[in-house]
Amino acid sequence: MNSTLHLRIRSNIQKQILSGSWPPGYRIPFEHELVARYRCSRMTVNKAIASLVSAGLIVRRRRAGSFVAEPRVQSAVLEIPDIRAKIEERGQTYSLQLLSRRRRKPAGRREYERTLAAGGDLLAVRCLHLANGRPYALEERLISLVAVPEAASIDFSLEPPGSWLLRHIPWTEAEHRIRAIDASEEEADLLELSSHRACLELSRRTLRGPEHITRVRLLFPGSGFDLVAHFAPLGK
Amino acid sequence: MNSTLHLRIRSNIQKQILSGSWPPGYRIPFEHELVARYRCSRMTVNKAIASLVSAGLIVRRRRAGSFVAEPRVQSAVLEIPDIRAKIEERGQTYSLQLLSRRRRKPAGRREYERTLAAGGDLLAVRCLHLANGRPYALEERLISLVAVPEAASIDFSLEPPGSWLLRHIPWTEAEHRIRAIDASEEEADLLELSSHRACLELSRRTLRGPEHITRVRLLFPGSGFDLVAHFAPLGK
DNA sequence: GATTAGACTATGTATAGACATTATTGCAGC
DNA sequence: GCTGCAATAATGTCTATACATAGTCTAATC
C-alpha cells in the first residue's frame, strides 16, 4: 500500500471505481464519512478527492456530493518526439539537410499564412532530417517574424528549427493534426520512397497566448515511423 | 484576475514561466517568501505550487527549493473518437457491417495473441463502420474471453464491439500506436479505395490492471480521417 | 584532499478549526 | 398544485500550527 495517508485514501477510492464497484454516477461517501472511516482530518480527505477530480475520475457538486465521473471520451497522451533525440536514442547518427530558407510575405490566398504572419513577414524553412544519412522526415515550417524576430538571424543548417524554437520560445498551446497521405512525386523523391508512398503527416500550430508562433508540417515515411500514445487514468 | 487566492498565486507564477521571465531551471521564490508576499498561509501557497507541479511546470527538491521544469518532451492529449459518435455528429448516418465473428484459440505463432488469451479462447471480430452507407473504417478486434466472458454471448452486428466494451468493461490502461500504411488488396477493396491506398492505422491494446482485455486495429482511409491532438500546459 | 557526521532548512504531510458558497430540500403561503 | 423563502448540508477556501523527511551545506575528521 502507499506510504502517505492521502495517497492511500485516493488509491482505495480509485480501486472501487476501476473495479466497477462504484459505477459512473455513483455517489461516493461524503467527506465527513471518509473522515470518520480513516480517522483523519477533512483536509486530508479533501486532498485525496481533489487529485481524483483533476484526474477526471470524480466530479463534485456542492451540497449534493461527489460522484464517479461518466467515462470520458477516449483520450490519450501522445508523445511527440524530438526527432533528433529519437534518432540518436536508437544509436543512429542524426544529420540535417537544409533545403531552402527564405523570408517572404504570406501567400494572399492562404488564410492561415496571413493569420500567422500577423501583418509582418514569414520565414519559410524546408529541411530534411536524416538518420544514418538516410531520409527520416521532411519538415516544412513557417515562422512568424512578428512573434519571433530573432529567427530571422538564425541559420537553420545546424540545429533544426523545431529544436531551436523549443529552446528559445515559450509557448502556451499547440494543436496537432495527424493524417495518412500519399507523398507527392517530389516528396517521395526527397524521402527516397519507391513503391510504398503512404506517409504519416503531422501538422502542428503553436501559439503563445493569442499570438501565432509557428506552423509545421512533418512528413514521415509510414514504414519507419510510429507514434505511441499512452493512457492511464492516473499518473503511475 | 482569478477569483480565489491560490488560483491567483498559481496564475501569477505561471505567467512568469510562460513569458520566459523565469526560464527553465530558475529557482522560484520559497514558500515562505510567497507567504510574505501574498500575506497568506503556507498551505495556500503550497496548493498553488502543487497544482503547477502536477501540470509539469515546476519540480520541487526538498531543502533546495522549487524550480521551473525543463521543457518536457512534446506531448499532447489525443482524442480518440468514438466512431459512431463522430459520424453522427457530422450529420451522417452510421451503420455497421459485421464481416466475421468467431471464437478461436490463439494463433500459436503470435506472441501477443497468447498473452491476450491468457490460456482461454479469443473472440475475433471483423467489421466495417459505414457513414452514409460508405466505408469509413475497418475494424479487426480480438477480445479475451477469459477477461470478458460476457462477450461470447453478444452479437456485434448492432453495436460495435468498441462501444459495447467501453460501456461494460472498466479498464485502467490503454496503449495506442499510430502508423501510416498502404492498404492491402483486400482492405482496399473493403474500404472502396481506388488509387490512394494510404491509410491511418490505429492499434490499441487495453488492460485492466495486469489483465489484457482486448486488442484492436482500426484502418481509416487517409483522406477521410484526422486525429486531432491538443496541448496546453494547464487546463483552461 | 577526500570522506563522513551532523546541523540546517525547504518541502511534505497532517491537524482542527473557521467561514464562504451554493445547491438542495422542505415548509409556508398563495 | 405551484411559488418562493429559509434552513440545511456538503463542498470550497483559508488559517495557524506541528512534526516528519530528505537534500544540502558545513565543518570536523581521516
Q: Which residue has the cell 505567467?
A: B15
pLDDT value at residue A1:
59
Percent of chain A past pLDDT 70, that is, above it, reads 94
Q: Closest nucleotide (CA of A65 to C1')? A: D10
Q: Which residue has the cell 496571413?
A: A114
CB atoms within 10 A of CB B6: 19
Domains, in order of start, for chain A: 5-68 (1.10.10.10), 77-230 (3.40.1410.10)
pLDDT at residue A87 tops 50: yes
Interface mutation target, options A17, A89, A178, A191, chain B, most CBs of B under 10 Å: A178
Percent of chain B past pLDDT 90, that is, above it, reads 63
SS3 of chain B: the string is: CCCCHHHHHHHHHHHHHHHCCCCCCCEECCHHHHHHHHCCCHHHHHHHHHHHHHCCCEEEECCCEEEECCCCCCEEEEECCCHHHHHHHCCCCEEEEEEEEEEECCCCCCHHHHHHHCCCCEEEEEEEEEECCEEEEEEEEEEECCCCHHHHHCCCCCCCHHHHHHHHCCCCEEEEEEEEEECCHHHHHHCCCCCCCEEEEEEEEEEECCEEEEEEEEEEEHHHCCEEEEECCCCC
Question: B220 in contact with A at a CB cutoff of 8 Å?
Answer: yes
Whole-angstrom CA distances from B148 to A49, A84, B79, B125, B139 are 30, 42, 25, 14, 19
Question: A198 in contact with B at a CB cutoff of 8 Å?
Answer: yes
Question: Which chain B residue has the Cα nearest residue A182?
Answer: B198
Mean pLDDT value of segment B85-97: 91
> Residues 6 or more apart from A143 whose CB is under 8 A from it?
A122, A123, A125, A151, A161, A165, A213, A214
**Residues pairing with A208 in the sheet:** A211
Percent of chain B past pLDDT 70, that is, above it, reads 95
| Confidence category of residue B75, pLDDT binned at 50, 70, 90 | confident
Interface mutation target, options B70, B179, B185, B203, chain A, most CBs of A under 10 Å: B179
Q: Closest nucleotide (CA of A41 to C1')? A: C15
Task: Return d(Cα B120, Cα A27) in angstroms, integer.
Answer: 36
Question: Which B residues, 166 through 185, put their C-beta within 8 Å of a C-beta on chain A?
Answer: 166-167, 170, 172-182
Half-sphere exposure of B92 (CA within 13 A, CB side): 16
Residue whose CA lies closest to nucleotide C13 C1': A4
Q: Where does residue B93 rank: exposed (0-12), middle (13-18), buried (19+ CB within 10 A)?
A: exposed
Question: Degrees (nearest 5) of the Cα angle A195, A180, B92?
Answer: 130
Length of chain B counted residue by residue: 236
Q: Please check whether residue A230 is in contact with residue B187, taking contact to mean a CB–CB distance below 8 angstroms.
A: no
pLDDT value at residue A14:
92
Task: Return d(Cα B138, Cα B129) in angstroms, integer.
Answer: 6
Give me B80's grid cell.
480518440
> Residues 6 or more apart from B69 whose CB is under 8 A from it?
B24, B56, B57, B58, B59
pLDDT value at residue B55:
86
Task: Return d(Cα A122, Cα A125) in angstroms, integer.
Answer: 10
Q: How far is the CA of A22 from the C1' of C27 (A)?
A: 34
pLDDT value at residue B235:
40
Mean pLDDT value of segment A2-22: 90
Q: Which tens digit of pLDDT belongs to each residue from B185-210?
A: 999 999 999 877 899 999 999 988 78
Give me A202's grid cell.
503531422
pLDDT value at residue A80:
76
Q: Which tens digit of pLDDT belongs to each residue from B115-166?
A: 999 999 999 999 999 999 999 999 999 999 999 999 999 999 999 998 888 8
Mean pLDDT value of segment B62-85: 81
Q: Which of A1-5, B46-50, B99-103, B152-156 has the lowest mean pLDDT?
A: A1-5
